Chains A and B, each alone.
Chain A
Amino acid sequence: MIEMYGVSKVYPGQVVALDDINLRIRGGEFVFLVGPSGAGKSTFVRLVYGEERPTRGLVLVDGRNVGRLRPREIPYLRRRLGVVFQDFKLLNDRTVFENVAFALRVTGASGREIRRRVPAVLSLVGLEDRARARPLELSGGEQQRVSLARAIVTGPSAVLADEPTGNLDPDTSWDIVNLLLRINRAGTTVVMATHAKAIVDRLRMRVVAIENGRIIRDEPRGSYS
């Protein structure tokens, strides 16, 4: 599903974010990407959804070379991936419903399809009652659930979550992680970059540890450190 071979990313000014990464994530896997801030986790995520191109090496998503995609092909890559960020990235001047519907409209979905799928996803994340609320009327955990709903409403084959619990308290964080687990059990690949040690240690899923841009550990049932 997601593969990297000899991938390096050097930002202008000789800042090495990733250094010779080799990794295969199969369809349906749940992977924690752990490591201190600035280790390269966000760069990893950006390379997968095509916001950055690798300086060296090969990034494959569903067998397609992301680094070689033409700019106008990138939107279609992103429609097969759902992305969740630490800061939610919601549009505060639109309702919860509209925020989720946004991702569908972009694909040219019909009004009927939107009215069918958005409520379904909202009830999956437990926000069916808040469809008409605006993001700033919601708690942080609820906002993150909206952004999660937006990420999965198009039925992506993988969800990339970059520090999705970074702004949330422990209880709320577990809500989000449990949702990600549910999404994963339905067959969606999930990659979650995090430094929430408690969560990683408790779940015992595959853990890829990155430090200074290199993979220092890759264990099938790993812990945070």
Chain B
Amino acid sequence: MKGNKAKLFGVMAVLLVGAGLLQRTAIYPSWKKNFAPRQQGLSSDLSPDQLLVAMAGFRELIAGILWVRADSFFDTGNYDAILPIIRLVTWLDPKQIDVYSTGMWHIAYNFTDEEQRSDRRYVPPALALGKEGAENNPHTYEMFFETGWLWYHKIDDDHQKAVNWFQQALERKDIDFIAARKNLLSNALQRNGQVREALDFYLKLLADAEKVYEKDPSFGNQQNRDTIENNIDTMLVRMSQRGWFATQLGYRDQGEYDIDPPFDVGFSAQVTVEDPMVLRIRGSWNVQPVGSRIRFILRDSDFPNAVPGGMEWDKTDSVSLDPPKNITYVQDGLFVRNRRFDRKIDMSRDKTMYPCTKPDYVIEFFYNPRSAPPHIQDKFGWNGEGMTDKNFLNTEIRPGSRVIFATLKLTRDQLLRRGEWIDRVPVVQTPNYVPPKRLKDEPRMIAVPSTRAETAGGPNEPAPELAPSK
């Protein structure tokens, strides 16, 4: 028996080595690649009990139940509680596209301060979630479209990214069922300065829509075709009036176009720290029609991945539900009315969102005509050809586009009204700042004159009034 036992142990050892080798060299790599619940690897955000639940079977059912539970948190406004559910559900069932898209929107939009200003520190993880959703669901257009939309609408910068995501969405067949969503690529191309490509894309959509209408002359297909036609008409008019054709064909100097001569927006700004963490931002913007929003940013001077007028939003692949607590980034739009802006930004009630732990801060003012509404673009052009500013025009920070960019600096002591600033009111301003005067006869109704240079005055001149209606 002794000899037999030794043989049996030998057999066991051989089998064990064989099984171990098979597991390490062949099975595990293949399992990880093809069968792991989440192909990118497990999230370290999941607690052991969540892991246990995940591996105990019924993953998809649990994911469904959890998402139903999350719905009740949405109803009660308990947004923080939704975050771990989003993460857990997408891990349990990476094919839940609704959870990815709703989660991405929730993370990017719904974490706001007391003034409904969203916490932009959440945008990179929201983008990472969108990217993960697209990677896990490459067969459908949905997450590609949703991620593109986040770039287009929420970030509204680096428009090439929106174009790329929309283009990837269009490569998926199922987008054909929702024709209207395709149009957005043309808008993104325009914001990216690719006017010709935007028109070409509309023309392609029209050709497709006509074919579909011929096959099935239903009301919906007719409407889709007519909408694209209308978009093309509008675009051709804009291309003509904004001198795009003339520039391309080399006769710009022979005619008058809406973008000529470039209009000086006369930007100036002043930032006053009225109370600790309470800013008053005033300034001039010599554009009478409503619709201008100047981007205002206050950030740590050493904010990671910062770029002029924004940040590199997609620098992370980590869907962190808890952005770094020690960094400050405030972004808002300064609405221009009657050629000036005057805005109070109160950060004092949101210490978590605005920790202000760094000694130095940068204030940025940024205006990119590519994001402007069409009636402003009619004067400024797609790339700011019809816009200038003798102090703050910048043609470098956004290649291909003429933008307005100005910076100011604040210290932590100034922001928190500490030290020498307890009794003194910190005021920082651009060198050209002149307080815009409120005019006695300033019309209550906002006048909408042409933005042509000869009719638009400086910030202190009265705006031309509309003719009284009969």
Q: Do A and B come from one complex?
A: no
Residues of A within 8 A of B (CB): none
